[in-house]
């Protein structure tokens, strides 16, 4: 917990902390930047910091909705937690004024922080496709619908239940269908008091211009490569592999995970198998959005590989790579249209292999290029 858990976004976090500190919080904010750089966890930390009371929660306080594991918060969240005291001892401590937390951050010890940590804070709500599926009692869909926004609007009109602020975090807000965006706009234009709506998105331009103009922008940058490598190692990756994936990640943990999946699939290909490109393309994700993202990543990698081969080649071999480069660029453009990603990838891979560029080398060359 606390903003210190968000790595590689120092400038942005400083800005968020100063908003919390001054209490001058815009009613609508848009956290935008590449996927997998900490926008959503930062939105949750921001919500926790806004509602933090800095009064350590004790058993003596009303405990009707106490989270299941307050001890976790007591042990790990603040400087005092270093002593391995059992929860009852900590709870018996008399209320002692503000807990030591950096200005504009959450303390991790108050009732609000504990509820935020357990995900059960009544005034901090996450709106995403998973939440929508539960709300509307249907399968998870790729879009956020107008009915979901209407529910949010209804809540926004109510008073906070526990804290000073009601915070709604709309995760991956680009999933809002236009009708839902229009419904949201009404709330953004006349925000209820003490309500903050945070939209997180890696596709800011998918949102209506009117939504953007009513939202305070907070930009998240790609993560430094060392941060990505560190996070991957923390999650159990081998250090050498973490460095390679970090080089391929373009500062995004999501891209790093995607590259990791691709490496695994590439490792399974048998050398000399004539249907390798076919088999590899068949492993694309079923979800068309994910498939498109993966195909675009692969085409970027292929382009890097082809450019390197082109630079190293002498005429007449150079001409072969010039033609392949042109063709792959064309396929890359097509990937933004509604095409069969599976076929598109297969064609690209077959043509690269025909020019003597092996599939297995795609990631290695890209990593080498990114490092160089
Ligand atoms: Zn707190």
Instruction: Assign 367 a pLDDT band (cuts: 50, 70, 90).
Output: low
What is the total count of domains within the chain? Answer: 2
CA distances from 200 to 94, 171, 175, 223 (A): 39, 5, 10, 16
**Nearest in space to 185 (alpha carbons), one of 169, 205, 166, 208:** 208
Q: Average pLDDT, stretch 182-209?
A: 95
Range of the structural domain that residue 284 is part of: 269-371
Residues with Cβ < 8 Å from 249, sequence gap 6 or more? 36, 223, 225, 228, 255, 256, 259
Q: What are the phi and psi torsion angles at 218 (to 5°)?
A: -125, 115
* Shared domain check, 314 and 178: no
Evaluate if residue 21 carries a pLDDT over 90. Answer: yes
Which residue in 230, 259, 254, 261 sits closest to 243, CA to CA? 230
Place of tokens 């903003």: 3
What percent of the chain shows pLDDT beyond 70?
Answer: 86
Q: What is the pLDDT of residues 329-357, one digit of tens each?
A: 999 999 888 788 888 888 888 888 888 88
Contact residues for 34 (Cβ-Cβ < 8 A; gap 6+): 202, 220, 222, 250, 251, 252, 254, 255
DSSP code for 136: H
Measured in angstroms, how far is the CA atom of residue 111 from the centroid of ligand 1?
7
Interior angle at CA 174, CA 123 and CA 118, nearest 5 = 30
- pLDDT of 167 over the 90 cut: yes
The reply to whether 281 and 189 lie within a common domain is: no
C-alpha 99 – ligand 1 centre gap (Å): 8
- pLDDT given for residue 183 in this prediction: 96
Same domain, 207 and 339: no
Residue 334 belongs to some domain of the structure: yes
Cα–ligand 1 centroid distance for 46 (angstroms): 12
240 C-alpha to center of ligand 1: Å? 39
User: 320: CA distance to ligand 1 center in Å?
Assistant: 63
Q: Do both 27 and 130 map to the same domain?
A: yes
Q: Is residue 26 domain-shared with residue 154, that is, in the same domain?
A: yes
- Over residues 247-300, the pLDDT tens digits come to 888 899 998 988 888 888 888 888 778 788 888 888 888 888 788 888 888 888
Ligand 1 centre from 166 Cα, in Å? 15
Q: Please check whether residues 153 and 275 belong to one and the same domain.
A: no
Verify that 17 and 143 share a domain, yes or no: yes
The widest CA-to-CA distance across the chain, in whole angstroms, is: 83
Q: How far is the CA of 337 from the centre of ligand 1 (A)?
A: 47
What is the distance in A from the centroid of ligand 1 to the CA of 299?
Answer: 46
- For the cut 90, the answer to whether the pLDDT of residue 219 exceeds it is yes
pLDDT band of residue 371 (cuts 50, 70, 90) is low
Distance CA 115, CA 105 (A): 16
Confidence of residue 39 (pLDDT cuts 50, 70, 90): very high
Give the span between the Cα atoms of 20 and 50, in whole angstroms: 6
In a domain, 231, yes or no: no
- Do 103 and 200 belong together in one domain? yes
* Mean pLDDT, rounded, of the chain: 85
- The structure tokens listed for 58 are 């004790």
**pLDDT: is 199 or 370 the higher one?**
199
Residue 171 lies in a domain: yes
Q: How many CB atoms lie within 10 A of CB 99?
A: 21
- The Å distance, Cα 109 to ligand 1 centre, comes to 5
Q: Mean pLDDT lowest for which of 205-209, 211-215, 278-282, 327-331?
A: 278-282
Same domain (yes/no): 273, 213 = no
Same domain, 38 and 172: yes
| Structure tokens, 206 | 């998918």
In contact, 220 and 37? CB cutoff 8 Å: yes
């Amino acid at each position: 917990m606390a903003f210190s858990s968000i790595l590689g976004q120092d400038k942005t976090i400083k800005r968020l902390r100063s908003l919390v500190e001054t209490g001058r919080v815009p009613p609508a904010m848009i956290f935008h930047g590449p996927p997998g750089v900490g926008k959503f966890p930062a939105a949750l930390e921001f919500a926790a910091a806004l509602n933090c009371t800095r009064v350590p929660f004790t058993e003596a306080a009303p405990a009707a909705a106490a989270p299941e594991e307050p001890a976790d918060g007591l042990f790990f969240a603040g400087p005092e937690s270093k002593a391995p005291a059992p929860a009852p001892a900590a709870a018996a401590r008399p209320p002692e004024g503000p807990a030591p937390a950096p200005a504009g951050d959450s303390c991790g010890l108050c009732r609000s922080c504990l509820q935020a940590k357990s995900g059960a804070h009544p005034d901090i709500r996450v709106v995403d496709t998973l939440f929508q599926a539960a709300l509307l009692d249907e399968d998870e869909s790729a879009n956020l619908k107008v009915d979901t926004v209407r529910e949010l609007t209804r809540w926004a009109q109510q008073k906070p239940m526990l804290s000073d602020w009601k915070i709604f975090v709309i995760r991956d807000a680009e999933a809002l269908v236009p009708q839902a965006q229009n419904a949201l706009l009404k709330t953004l234009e006349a925000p209820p008091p003490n309500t903050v709506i945070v939209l997180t998105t890696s596709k800011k331009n998918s949102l209506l211009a009117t939504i953007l103009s009513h939202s305070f922008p907070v930009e998240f940058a790609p993560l430094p490569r060392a941060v990505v490598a560190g996070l991957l190692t923390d999650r159990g990756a081998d250090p050498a592999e973490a460095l390679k994936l970090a080089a391929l990640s373009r500062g995004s943990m999501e891209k790093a995970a995607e590259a990791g999946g691709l490496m695994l699939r590439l490792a399974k290909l048998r050398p000399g198998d004539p249907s390798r490109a076919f088999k590899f393309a068949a492993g694309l994700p079923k979800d068309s959005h994910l498939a498109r993202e993966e195909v675009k990543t692969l085409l970027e990698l292929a382009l890097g590989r082809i450019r390197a081969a082109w630079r190293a080649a002498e005429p007449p071999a150079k001409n072969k790579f010039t033609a392949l480069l042109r063709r792959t660029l064309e396929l890359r453009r097509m990937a933004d249209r509604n095409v069969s990603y599976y076929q598109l990838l297969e064609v690209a891979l077959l043509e690269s292999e025909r020019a003597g560029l092996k599939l297995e080398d795609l990631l290695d060359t890209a990593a080498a290029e990114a490092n160089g």
